[in-house]
A and B are shown apart, each in its own frame.
Chain A
């Protein structure tokens, strides 16, 4: 992908050409905001600002209008920029597209939808975009992501950036966490399926880890099937020069190093004639299960309390 940003006129043209419902949304937000401003001006000129909380009402109305307008404007302009960028660089634009068939953990969580994104047209693709879980009211904020095809299938590996917080949809089972040397553990937590630890460390060689520490401190990374995902808590400015430069700066050497590590990678547990190159145990990480210890402890406590109460 080239780092040349689309020209403002191209973005504007895409904005005008964009989906009808986006323009309607934008106009509604403008009307909402304008009605608030008009209401505020009217009560100010009538000297009725403090009558029955009218002032507070119209201020709240105007602020809500501002919020709505900024939010819809940002989204609409983001979509237009992505379209313009895709148009200018011969990429496929991905606008408001369902993505729950992607194997990445964040996409399989509820109904995932790409808001805006671009993808290279080659077989070994790179895709950059923002997505949201549109049926989950707790996940209204969009996330940024980068998706890249890998030369071969790999076990499921997650490298969770600590500064990203609980970005992934579930906590991993603790036994899948790997302790790593150096500074890496302070910034990232690496998870690999049981019995695939060596494979994960073979793929995440010290070179690759160094690359991560230097260039991707805020990204959570996931390797699943034959794809790599980088997730960012902040949405990415698709078509923005800085974003594309940063992603390229990160992806180019990372892809080269990963390619080198994957060059001879094969899952030793799978015979040559089996269709899937990774054994079932290595294909997906698993979430935590309720520990037997906690269940026993609670049961014992309940029994004790019951005995005590019966005796009393």
Chain B
């Protein structure tokens, strides 16, 4: 009888180990999925920037610095590989885009342009989507990290070489871009 009990305990432990590993893999794939969602939203946002630059350039003649900053931020975002850098680049781009909105206040023709209004609306919408995807990603990372940081998940994670994932958090002062009011 004792042999059977030992056997059952062993099998139960193995199953538990296997289940823990499966749940870690599942949580990690969720982090990956959330990260690809963040990248998709960032790409979507980045795709709008060249149109904005071109449009603004057509109306604005003495604001090259603002446009250059936007192009640099855009380029930085396209080349960002890890969550930390991507978050910094995204914050930088937000700052540059909002600086462009501020500049546009001085050009009534630009403000009145339907293309500009449409683009501005699209950018704000995409910005909302970026925020949502960032929340999803950070939630997935939080869950994954807490799972592999607490026992018994920590033992399984250590054995299989899982490491904590990085949060999508900007380290620069531009982390909280100003709010744009579209008159809604």
Which residues of A pack against B, CB within 8 Å? 175, 178-181, 195, 197-199, 201-202, 205, 260-261, 263-264, 293, 296-297, 300-301, 304-305, 308
Taking a contact as CB atoms under 8 Å apart, the answer to whether A293 and B142 are in contact is no
For residue B19, give the distance in angstroms from its CB to the closest CB of chain A.
5
From B15, B37, B142, give the contact of A179 (CB < 8 A). Answer: B142
Q: How far is the CA of A202 from the CA of B136 in the complex (A)?
A: 10
Q: Tell me the nearest residue of chain B to A199, going by C-beta.
A: B132
Chain A facing B: main interface SS: helix
The interface on chain B, measured as residues whose beta carbon lies within 8 A of the other chain's beta carbons, has a size of 31
Q: How far is the CA of A195 from the CA of B40 in the complex (A)?
A: 13
Taking a contact as CB atoms under 8 Å apart, the answer to whether B129 and A180 are in contact is no
- 3 nearest interchain CB pairs? A202-B132, A179-B139, A201-B132
Which residues of B pack against A, CB within 8 Å? 3-4, 7-8, 11-12, 15, 18-19, 22, 26, 30, 33-34, 37, 41, 121, 125, 128-129, 131-133, 135-136, 138-140, 142-143, 184
Taking a contact as CB atoms under 8 Å apart, the answer to whether B8 and A301 are in contact is yes
Q: How far is the CA of A261 from the CA of B138 in the complex (A)?
A: 21
Residues in A neighbouring B121, C-beta threshold 8 A: 264
Which residue, B12, B121, B139, has most C-beta atoms of chain A within 10 A? B139
Residues in A neighbouring B33, C-beta threshold 8 A: 195
Taking a contact as CB atoms under 8 Å apart, the answer to whether A198 and B138 are in contact is no
Taking a contact as CB atoms under 8 Å apart, the answer to whether A198 and B136 are in contact is yes
For residue A256, give the distance in angstroms from its CB to the closest CB of chain B.
10
For residue B28, give the distance in angstroms from its CB to the closest CB of chain A.
13
Q: Tell me the nearest residue of chain B to A192, going by C-beta.
A: B136
Beyond A198-B41, A293-B18, A297-B15, whether A180 also contacts B135 by CB under 8 A is yes
Taking a contact as CB atoms under 8 Å apart, the answer to whether A308 and B3 are in contact is yes
Would you list 24 pairs from A and B whose C-beta atoms are within 8 A, ordered by A residue?
Answer: A178-B136, A179-B139, A179-B143, A180-B139, A197-B34, A198-B129, A198-B136, A199-B132, A201-B132, A201-B133, A201-B136, A202-B129, A202-B132, A205-B128, A205-B131, A260-B184, A264-B121, A293-B15, A296-B15, A301-B8, A304-B4, A304-B7, A305-B4, A308-B3
